[in-house]
Amino acid sequence: MHTVWPRFAEFCDQHSRDFIPRSSGKRAQAMEDRQLHRRCADLLINGDEEPLGAALLRIFPDEQERARAQAFLRACLEDRWRPRGGRPFEQASSVISVRLRADATRLVDFLERGLGAQRDLVALDALADTFQRYQGSHSTYLMLCALHSVLPEPGKGFLERSSGFTDLLTWGATPYLRSFWFRFQRQMGATRVAIKTEAAQNLARELSETEDTLRLELEHVRARLAAAENEIVRLKEESQAAAVLALGIRLQERPNPILDQMVETLERLEERAENDGFGLSGDLLSALIILEEILEGLRSLGLRHFPQDLAQPLILTEEDLSRYQYTRGTPFRNPGESRRVRCLKPGWEVAGRLITPARVEEMEATTDCSEEER
């Protein structure tokens, strides 16, 4: 339900006395004119093909009363609804009725959109233009009558239950009605100044909301960019790891695994360099340096042998058998058992992915390690 009509009815109830004559003389004149005003308004609102002049002659047989009716209608038509080509009393009243009811319907639309639950500033601006055209008391009264005629339920019910609105229609086009629309406009906060102020506030709020939205979007973009960069790094690392893994497998699947041979050769050269007081010859020293650089290069690609210290005894559990080839020793029979082993051949891996397991054997085939050794 549109919220404007309860407020419109409330405005009429609160302020109808301001638009009704208070002095006895003006009230007497208004009482004399009000029935004539209402009959003229009904004639224009519910017009038919009968010429307006003929309708006046039929409705107001008294010449003086008819003259007053013509004066009232001229005032109404001067404000807004004079037919094109002049001579309004020679044209069918339906010509005026169509335009009048169309204006009233537009007014209903502007009021409901402009002053509804969600204020439409475009409709409010159009409403201000409409009110500007209905400043005369005659056009204001005629539009109030037309508004009641075209307004559907439930809006019409609010107006019919409003004693203030009923009084306005009853008392006719009093001179005080000329300020009706402006007073209503001001109370509803729909003057041009109020509209401009509200538009500026809405613009400031929208700009702030847009700024917040853009800031949030920027944060999302940055997060997505960081995620994309991380994904690129991950894919590169995975691609590199896969390539190094394939290389390691190829080197190790030979009859004499090349990686193992390089480690063994390096260890022998280092041992000889330590034990030989005269040091290594030039060729052997070059070979030592080359092997160290090759292994360092492989380590930089993520390819590593394990365990790092091949001479250090290890504590092996059943869970470690996926990485270690247990070549000789007491079998594992119960969960939680461990064996003290030495490494015979290093294992190789790339980024946690196994190339070849390390080969180990039990150092003391009949004795499990104590908890302290573990």
The tokens for 136 are: 């005369």
Banded model confidence at residue 84, pLDDT cuts 50, 70, 90? low
- Of the CA atoms within 13 Å of residue 242, those in its CB half-sphere come to 6
Q: Which residue has the higher pLDDT, 113 or 203?
A: 113
The tokens for 245 are: 């893994």
Q: What is the 3-class SS of 142-160, one letter each residue?
A: HHHHHHHHHCCCCHHHHHH
| pLDDT of 212 | 86
The DSSP secondary-structure symbol of 339 reads E
Q: Cα angle vertex 227, ends 223, 230, to 5°? A: 140
Q: What is the pLDDT of residues 264-308, one digit of tens each?
A: 888 888 887 777 655 667 788 888 888 888 888 888 888 888 998
- Tell me what the mean pLDDT of segment 353-357 comes to: 90
| Pair 172, 19: CB distance under 8 Å | no
Q: What is the pLDDT of residues 144-194, one digit of tens each?
A: 999 999 999 999 999 999 999 999 999 999 999 999 999 998 888 888 788
Banded model confidence at residue 82, pLDDT cuts 50, 70, 90? low
| Pair 200, 50: CB distance under 8 Å | no
Over 80: is that where the pLDDT of 81 sits?
no
Nearest Cα residue to 340 out of 310, 360, 311, 319: 360
Over 60: is that where the pLDDT of 368 sits?
no
What percent of the chain has pLDDT above 90? 28
- Average pLDDT, rounded, for the chain: 85
d(CA 16, CA 18): 5
Nearest Cα residue to 273 out of 258, 288, 257: 288
Domain edges within the chain: 4-190, 203-253, 255-301, 304-374
| Pair 3, 117: CB distance under 8 Å | yes
The DSSP secondary-structure symbol of 51 reads B
- Tell me what the mean pLDDT of segment 254-265 comes to: 85
d(CA 141, CA 287): 112
Q: Which region among 32-46, 69-83, 127-141, 195-209 has the lowest average model confidence (pLDDT)?
A: 69-83
pTM of the model: 0.55
32-36, 163-167, 334-338: which has the highest mean pLDDT? 163-167
Banded model confidence at residue 86, pLDDT cuts 50, 70, 90? low
Residue 272: enclosing H or E segment and its boundaries? helix 258-275
Banded model confidence at residue 373, pLDDT cuts 50, 70, 90? very low
Q: What is the pLDDT of residues 95-150, one digit of tens each?
A: 888 988 998 999 999 888 888 888 888 888 888 888 888 878 898 999 999 999 99
Banded model confidence at residue 241, pLDDT cuts 50, 70, 90? confident
Over 70: is that where the pLDDT of 211 sits?
yes
Q: Which residue has the higher pLDDT, 104 or 81?
A: 104
